[in-house]
Amino acid sequence: MNNEMQSYKCIDVNEAKELIKNNKVTIADIRDTGSYQEGNIPDSINLTDQNIKEFIETADRSAPLLVYCYHGNSSLGAAQHFANNGFTSVFSLDGGYVGYTQHDSR
């Protein structure tokens, strides 16, 4: 077992968009459901306390997983949690959804 402290990678919006464009990536939105419904990264899954256990049990853990929150803080802990649960290619979006949408509106 790999005992590195950090087994995920922080990436910026440009890197995230490349990952989304070029790979079959699972996108996990860990914000609350209301925020998710107001706006989200296309094809993302809203993970909540109600469905995260099922997601971890059923997801392809070898597929790239991009995790984002509001500003890129909560996603760090979530990314580590996924890495600890056997996901091998986990990314946390720096700046979160706010950074993503501000980048998008240029």
13, 47, 69, 93: which one is catalytic? Answer: 69
Is 10 designated active site?
A: no
Cα 90 from Cα 8, distance rounded (Å): 5
Q: State how beta strands 44-46 and 90-93 pair.
A: unpaired
Active-site residues, by number, are 69
